[in-house]
Amino acid sequence: MTDLLKGKVAIVTGAGSGMGRQISELFVSEGAKVMLADINPDGLKETADQIDPSGNSTSSVICNVAKEADIVNMVKETIDIYSKIDVLVNNAGIVDNIKTVENMTDDMWDRVLAINLTGPFKASREVIKYMKDQKDGGNIINMASVGGLFGSRGGAAYTATKHGIIGLTKNIAATYGIYHNIRANAIAPGNIATNIQKTINDPDELGMKAMSAVGGMTAPVGKPEQIARVALFLASDQSNFINGAVITADGGWTSM
């Protein structure tokens, strides 16, 4: 490896599986210290054991990003252990069974927004308190989706949150990127083989019809490590003039 992140400290939410685990592993291999954050203690332990059995490069914290107290604690733990935060990867997220507006319950709407959008907002707010006073600023990477670029790559709540996270990314870049040394960029993955797909257990008929119409059932399938490489680029100084960007990583699905 090339030590692209040597000396950097990163927080990765949703680190207990999938893209979060792969991002954490790649960051550690490139020299970063990583705070692994996830709601699932078993997943956290598996990630830590897999990528850092010695415990020299990672720490772990239980964090439900829908709870502000957990977010505040996650950031505090990182500062207490490492004294700084260079990179925040807002990766934790859920889907919504591709439910349309008509079939979206209040509970599902509120839960998806809390995890996919309000959580990243609060985590960003918390780390910016520290990043804006750091000499080297900071770097926020938000996991959006092609669902945030179009209308039929997810249900109503998921689509709304992923559009929202792109707007949040651009606002941080336009304010803290210009007047402080903080970068914010988003990744918009397409169909990635992760455990999140297994949570689509009651898909909406109309939502699936709209998804099928844009090739969703035959979209190219990517691997979590392919998204991790995009995150590494954005976290590294190699991308130091990229701010407020949305990088689509979908194997060409949305180019058709």
Task: Identify the CATH number of the domain in which residue 199 sits.
Answer: 3.40.50.720
pLDDT of residue 207: 87
Segments of the chain scoring below 50 in pLDDT = none
Determine the 3-state secondary structure of 59 from DSSP. Answer: strand
Residue 256 lies in a domain: no
pLDDT of residue 157: 98
Please give the sequence-ordered ranges of beta strands (E in DSSP) within the chain, or none if there are none. Answer: 9-13, 33-38, 58-62, 87-90, 138-143, 182-189, 191-192, 221-222, 246-249
Which of 82, 130, 158, 179 is flagged as catalytic? 158
pLDDT of residue 5: 98
Tens-digit pLDDT profile for residues 213-256:
888 878 899 999 999 999 999 999 999 999 999 999 999 999 97
How buried is 94 (Cβ within 10 angstroms: 0-12 exposed, 13-18 middle, 19+ buried)? middle
Residue 25 lies in a domain: yes
pLDDT of residue 1: 67
Q: 203 Cβ partners below 8 Å, 6+ apart?
A: 97, 98
- Domain containing 222 equals 9-251
Q: How many domains does one find in the chain?
A: 1
Tokens at residue 19, please?
């893209």
- 158 labelled catalytic: yes
Residue 4 lies in a domain: no
pLDDT of residue 217: 76
Q: 45 Cβ partners below 8 Å, 6+ apart?
A: 60
